[in-house]
Structure 1
Amino acid sequence: MLSKISVTHLKASPSASTSGFSWHGNQRRFGYCARNSSQFNKPRFKIVGKSLGDRWKLNEIDANAVQEKLNSWLLKTQNFLNEVTSPLVRTSQTRKPVTRDAFETQDMEDIFMAEQTINNRTPNGVLSLAAIVSIEQFSRMNGLTGQKMQRIFKALVSESTYNDARNLVEYCCFRFLSRDNSDIHPSLKEPAFQRLIFITMLAWENPYQEDLANGSEKASFQSKLVREEAFVRVAPAISGVADRSTAHNLFKALAGDEQGISLSLWLTYVDELIKVHEGRKSYQTRQSPDLSEERILCIGSSRKRPVLKWENNMAWPGKVTLTDKAIYFEAVGISGQKDSIRLDLTKHGLRVEKAKVGPFGSDLFDSAVSISYGPKSEAWVLEFVDLGGEMRRDVWHAFISEIIALHKFIRDYGPEEVDESLSHVYGAHKGKERAMNSAINSIARLQALQFMRKLLDDPTKLVQFTYLQYAPYGDIVSQTLAVNYWGGPLISKFLEVDNPPAQGARASNEMIESSNHVFDIDGSVYLQKWKRSPCWASSASASFWKSTSTRQGLVLSKNLVVADAALVERATRTCKQKWQAAETTQATIDAATLKGIPSNIDLFKISLIARTLMGLI
């Protein structure tokens, strides 16, 4: 028997309120309801029989007015039924996202009904309410019902994969997300979609009911927390929300001392992230002609918190502008602003470091960054005055480091721009742009966290390319990113001209597999001649790519794999494990130093044993 999931949005009440799920008999209800409200049990309509002694007379009834009123009611009923048949989440195709203010200011109650078509009883248990809602809603966003999606999934995977409800949650969600290739998912602006993603993370973490003996299930999303494993799995699947390589650090920054991420915190993070991207659009509209070929990422200027450029023990206030290729400083003097000066961040050998500055060459203020080509070159020294404890210098250090690391990554792992082989792999010419967009999104997330005051002690752990430069196993993760950005289907023309197959051989299979090209999980090819970085010759690299031939899940795209991990995710897991082992090793060394090891030889032995267990040597 089919049941109904009703989603109710009530007008905001001054009394305490909660949003969540509740079951009433055979009906499941998801909504926003006010507790202890005096109006909650009042009837919807008031029927007045008499008023001030007046009585209705039949000849006094205006037939036209009655007909007009009935037509109005019928129109409202028709609109209501149209809403009933629509899914909970209005996708970006409608181009009319429902804002949070609309929910709070609407005069009438909007009720969205979604028919539950899937059987909530599975071989491994009864589906949780979050799993049912996620499966049904994403199925409708895919143009199908939950039952049809369930049947399709059963036909595509093995029985063991099908029996795990978590995989069905992934399939419904990932199939919808795989339809979009934008840098920022367009549905992310819609509050209903934001909530659905949170529900999906809860569903992934707990796809089954925890208490099967309890016939009714009540859940308030305000009190639910998303744990790290669910966040790291689902959040990076949404374009712009997180990177696979730094998602665990992003979770730590958001959760802080808590055990997970709440709904309100998740919504705040997404809202701040959207504000950052919208703010960048305003930068581009008023940019100068000199920046027409660059994208402005952030601007540092404030009367209360100026940016100072130190030269010859003198500090000059001004405005700093960071783009995807350079950093600009525009000094402000008595006569007004001066012409801006530019430092190219794409050149080889550039480095950025934290620095201390002060008058007369003193190191009084630890709030500056130094950008140079080496100890003998003239450095840019920029001080980011921070009076509010917002780690302003550390954040800007991470910003600049990420742009420098981005272009180093492109030089080390990407093909040369004049390489003719770019035309032999479909989509490879967009690889550089994909890498740049990834770094730009990393900086946007760091800005959002700064506004929320949710930062780690070292913000560079939150920006992908900088983090991978010093993280153990980071070079292998970088290899998977390169294959992800530049890899694509091999064009047959390349096979015929440069690598003619043997007579009678099938070029698309035998020749490719016998080559030393690298393949992504979806079959995309990364050419051997592009492997210019020395790290490709390491034993760790050979071992990793040898293990990638094993595929168990359902591949929807190179980034979305159901019941298995994409290559970037596989490498990131190992990177995270080695990073945790490195932290444990360092903690062991620090503890031994504090306790007083008898000699440096003993300390070296402890370090050697720890590093051996960690797998670094």
Structure 2
Amino acid sequence: MAMINRTRDLLMGGFEGLVREGSFKWALPRRGDALVDDDEDLDSSLSGKRSSVAGLSLKANAVVARCSRILDVSMNDLQNDFDKQASDSIKQPRNYARNFLEYCCFMALAQNSQVAGYLADKSFRRLTFDMMLAWEVPSPSSHLIVKVEVDSTVSLEAFTRIAPAIPTIADVVTCSNLFDVLSCSSGGRLSFSVYDKYLSGLDRAIKKMKIQSESSLLSSLRSQRGERILEVDGTLTTQPVLEHVGISTWPGRLTLTDHALYFEALRVVTYDKPKAYELAEDVKQVVKPELTGPWGSRLFDKAVMYKSTTLTEPVIIEFPELTGHSRRDYWLAIISEVLYVHRFVRKFDISGVDKEETILKAVLGILRLQAIEELGLPVPNRYESLLMFNLCDKLPGGDVILETLASTISSRTSDRTNQPGTSRGMHAVLSNLGVVSPVNNGERLFVGEIVVGEMSSFQKAVTDSMNNYKKVELAQATVDGVKVDGLDTNLAVMKELLSPVSELWKVLILLASWDEPLKSMLFCFLFSYIIIRGWIIYFVVMVLLFSATFMFLTRLTNQGKPMTEVKVASPPPMNTMEQLLAVQNAISKIEELVQDANIVLLKIRALLLAFPSQATDRAILALVLMALSLAIVPTRVVILVMFLEVFTNNSPLRRASTERWTRRLREWWFSIPAAPVVVEKDKEDKKTR
């Protein structure tokens, strides 16, 4: 517990106090007040020391030189350390330059991130961006690949390799989605101006969280768990927050921490005592979007519903706004993120420093989302795409990602227990501040969840899941594209899609009607023979194999061709009144079907309860005969008798007797009374109304 408190204090201290302008000037070569940013300046920065690594580009050599100054280690010593620790596969000439650059960058980032307020220092922000630029052109030959016009912007690949090395900036799971948002206005590549504004906004979000968490707001309720306040809403009269409990509604202030949700009802000039809605403990919480409206109507999709075993009835938190429901969606996403991270912690029994570290992942995700919101950048996907645990809940294979993360945390815990006590504490502090120092694990150089020169198991799980998710998105795009409006049009589409089934059904009806006796007789003899020989299962197997063969051959012949469109004849247009009448007729037919179904169920209930009638006696006798038949007669004979009974009903020999027995069966059915029904109104419902 002492270690956890120390970690928390150091974490909050890490967000405190800004580094003065130019605190990293000794680490970053400059010319005057301008950062070294182009090849000419980089060359000048290197010429003074005449220290470089063969096989690296000018940009890569400049970044490695800055890393050596930060680490106070010569470039030769850095290269010697890398050669000693790295495996032969990482040191292959083909990838040596990039892998060595990654090693130097991760080591320097681990050192720089220990400085308080590092996100506020523009030198640090420029350094991380230069690392991404150098990653794209690590060797002189790579200049031929990267075009000149995109030389000052960063690609997705470079961002996803360098940015997650500082979990404050990005995490492995949401990194690609974050890049898409940051680069949406610059043609799919990230410019320094947007990147710099994002880190500045992230720094302000961290400071805001620190100030709110240290204030007296909810201090009595939060002190025991040391909760961090992540978001507050409802303080402005133009953006109220409403709490609905039963038929009562109150405006108030809503506060989200990394453990719970608090609502303070607003009275005349003060707030009531906060009501806490738990997110950390297991009380079977459910958080989902909800509809609200006046007098209990469900009109506006702008609320979040919270219920748990500790509440007698659900609580609905409404976020009124004139258009859309983005405000509700934002709150739903961040509340769910806190809920999901605690479920993850409980599921994999994570405790101590690891628990603090895991919760911090969710906290940082929410802070990054706040920075994006402050910049006013459009989020093409939903807010969940930028929150790690939300995204894992939605992604195909997201459970595999979380299992891999839990395994990574477990292995890191094992590494800590094998180290001296001081290093264990420092490792936790570094991790909470945003970076884990590179660790040599066998032949792999780890930095947090990233491996120098290759993909970690965690990154592989994320990549596989993202690839599957892209396929799902493409499939969903086709689904959205084929949706049509109008009841009549949808019925026409359904009729066309079911046309093969309806044609097959017409053929079966034609055979069963015996309008063409020869065809019906052949079909009857063929299926009777199949049933007698016990070949039904083989018949099913043949149908399945035929379907698979048809699909396989169709796939081979249509490879590369677009899917054949379903052509539907458009029904005649209807005006608004005709559409309303069509809907009313459809509802009436549905109501009739439901009534008929209820009558059938009530008659069956009367039979089961042995209501005194002649129909009940016949039903008992029929059930006994059926039971004896199934017990004595072989199964294939029973199936054959049932098939012949159904299929030969309309044959010339049986048509008269079928009509007579059908009439008797109808009379028997009509003679069954329905069980009585009494509809009672709920007393509580009367009081509410």
Question: What band does the TM-score fall into relative to the shorter chain?
Answer: 0.5 to 0.7
Q: Which runs of 5+ in 2 are unaligned?
A: 1-27, 419-437, 485-489, 502-546, 556-689
Conserved 8 A contact 1:19-1:220: no
Partner of 2:367: 444
Q: Which runs of 5+ in 1 are unaligned?
A: 12-17, 31-111, 418-428, 495-520, 525-550, 613-617
* Residue type at the aligned position of 2:451: V
Greater fraction strand:
1
Conserved 8 A contact 1:314-1:359: no
CA distance in 2, matches of 1:307, 1:229: 41
Conserved 8 A contact 1:319-1:329: yes
Q: Secondary structure at the match of 1:484?
A: helix
1:461 equivalent in alignment to 2:385: yes
Alignment of 1:57-136 (within 5 A): 115-119=49-53, 121-122=54-55, 127-136=56-65
1:405 equivalent in alignment to 2:337: no
Question: Any idea what the Cα deviations from partners look like across 1:102-146, whole Å, max 9, x if unmatched?
Answer: xxxxxxxxxx99635114x52xxxx43322221111122121133
Partner of 2:200: 271
Alignment of 1:514-525 (within 5 A): none
* Residue type at the aligned position of 2:38: F
1:235 equivalent in alignment to 2:163: yes
CA distance in 1, matches of 2:414, 2:331: 40
Q: Once the 2 structures are TM-superposed, how far is the Cα of residue 160 of structure 1 from its aligned partner? A: 5.9
Conserved 8 A contact 2:302-2:325: no
* Residue type at the aligned position of 1:276: A
CA separation of 1:28 and 1:181: change in aligned 2, threshold 3 A: closer
CA distance in 2, matches of 1:459, 1:438: 16
CA separation of 1:469 and 1:229: change in aligned 2, threshold 3 A: same
CA distance in 2, matches of 1:493, 1:563: 27
CA distance in 2, matches of 1:350, 1:462: 23
Q: Once the 2 structures are TM-superposed, how far is the Cα of residue 439 of structure 1 from its aligned partner? A: 0.9
Conserved 8 A contact 2:392-2:402: yes
Q: Secondary structure at the match of 1:329?
A: strand
Q: Secondary structure at the match of 2:37?
A: strand
Question: Any idea what the Cα deviations from partners look like across 1:36-57, whole Å, max 9, x if unmatched?
Answer: xxxxxxxxxxxxxxxxxxxxxx
Partner of 2:99: 167
Q: Once the 2 structures are TM-superposed, how far is the Cα of residue 176 of structure 1 from its aligned partner? A: 2.5
CA distance in 1, matches of 2:416, 2:260: 39
Q: Secondary structure at the match of 1:404?
A: helix
Greater fraction helix:
2
Partner of 1:599: 497
* Residue type at the aligned position of 1:192: S
Partner of 1:53: none
* Residue type at the aligned position of 2:209: R
Conserved 8 A contact 1:327-1:343: yes
Larger radius of gyration: 2
* Residue type at the aligned position of 2:455: A
CA distance in 1, matches of 2:362, 2:143: 45
Alignment of 1:330-341 (within 5 A): 330-341=264-275
1:359 equivalent in alignment to 2:287: no
CA distance in 2, matches of 1:290, 1:408: 22
CA distance in 2, matches of 1:248, 1:213: 25
CA separation of 1:19 and 1:555: change in aligned 2, threshold 3 A: closer
Conserved 8 A contact 1:403-1:439: yes
Tell me the TM-score normalised to structure 1 length. 0.63
Q: Considering only aligned residues, what root-mean-square deviation do their CA atoms show, in Å?
A: 3.9
Q: Once the 2 structures are TM-superposed, how far is the Cα of residue 231 of structure 1 from its aligned partner? A: 1.0
Q: Once the 2 structures are TM-superposed, how far is the Cα of residue 284 of structure 1 from its aligned partner? A: 2.1
Partner of 2:314: 379
Question: Any idea what the Cα deviations from partners look like across 1:165-209, whole Å, max 9, x if unmatched?
Answer: 111210101122345887x98533321011010011111122234
* Residue type at the aligned position of 1:471: L
* Residue type at the aligned position of 1:571: A
* Residue type at the aligned position of 2:31: T
Question: Any idea what the Cα deviations from partners look like across 1:378-406, whole Å, max 9, x if unmatched?
Answer: 22211223458792211111110011111
Question: Any idea what the Cα deviations from partners look like across 1:509-542, whole Å, max 9, x if unmatched?
Answer: xxxxxxxxxxxx9799xxxxxxxxxxxxxxxxxx
CA distance in 1, matches of 2:397, 2:112: 30
CA separation of 1:29 and 1:314: change in aligned 2, threshold 3 A: farther
Conserved 8 A contact 2:30-2:36: no
CA distance in 2, matches of 1:356, 1:151: 64
1:204 equivalent in alignment to 2:111: no
CA separation of 1:601 and 1:265: change in aligned 2, threshold 3 A: farther
* Residue type at the aligned position of 1:431: D
Partner of 2:255: 321
Larger mean CA deviation between 485-494 and 557-566 belongs to 485-494
CA distance in 2, matches of 1:261, 1:212: 18
CA separation of 1:434 and 1:491: change in aligned 2, threshold 3 A: closer
1:21 equivalent in alignment to 2:44: no
* Residue type at the aligned position of 1:243: D
CA separation of 1:234 and 1:10: change in aligned 2, threshold 3 A: closer
Q: Secondary structure at the match of 2:236?
A: coil
Alignment of 1:284-299 (within 5 A): 284-287=213-216, 288-292=219-223, 293=225, 294-299=227-232
* Residue from 176, 186, 189 that aligns with 2:120: 189
Q: Once the 2 structures are TM-superposed, how far is the Cα of residue 472 of structure 1 from its aligned partner? A: 1.0
Alignment of 1:533-572 (within 5 A): 554-572=444-462
CA distance in 2, matches of 1:445, 1:489: 27
Q: Once the 2 structures are TM-superposed, how far is the Cα of residue 278 of structure 1 from its aligned partner? A: 0.6
Q: Secondary structure at the match of 1:342?
A: strand
Conserved 8 A contact 2:106-2:447: no
Q: Secondary structure at the match of 1:23?
A: helix
Q: Secondary structure at the match of 2:255?
A: strand
Partner of 2:31: 8
Q: Once the 2 structures are TM-superposed, how far is the Cα of residue 22 of structure 1 from its aligned partner? A: 4.7
Conserved 8 A contact 1:305-1:387: no
Q: Once the 2 structures are TM-superposed, how far is the Cα of residue 271 of structure 1 from its aligned partner? A: 0.6
CA separation of 1:493 and 1:138: change in aligned 2, threshold 3 A: closer
Q: Secondary structure at the match of 2:231?
A: strand
CA distance in 1, matches of 2:177, 2:349: 26
* Residue from 449, 468, 471 that aligns with 1:578: 468
CA separation of 1:492 and 1:231: change in aligned 2, threshold 3 A: closer
Partner of 1:504: none
* Residue type at the aligned position of 1:148: D
Q: Once the 2 structures are TM-superposed, how far is the Cα of residue 489 of structure 1 from its aligned partner? A: 5.8
CA distance in 2, matches of 1:158, 1:484: 21
Q: Which has the higher contact order (CA 8 A, sep 6+)?
A: 2
Conserved 8 A contact 1:356-1:363: yes
Q: Secondary structure at the match of 1:235?
A: helix
Conserved 8 A contact 1:276-1:448: yes
Larger mean CA deviation between 310-319 and 386-395 belongs to 386-395
1:434 equivalent in alignment to 2:357: yes
Conserved 8 A contact 2:252-2:263: yes
Partner of 1:343: 277
CA distance in 2, matches of 1:249, 1:472: 16
CA distance in 2, matches of 1:487, 1:600: 55
* Residue from 179, 188, 195 that aligns with 1:251: 179
Q: Secondary structure at the match of 2:90?
A: helix
CA separation of 1:158 and 1:329: change in aligned 2, threshold 3 A: closer
* Residue from 74, 79, 83 that aligns with 1:154: 83
* Residue from 132, 137, 149 that aligns with 2:66: 137
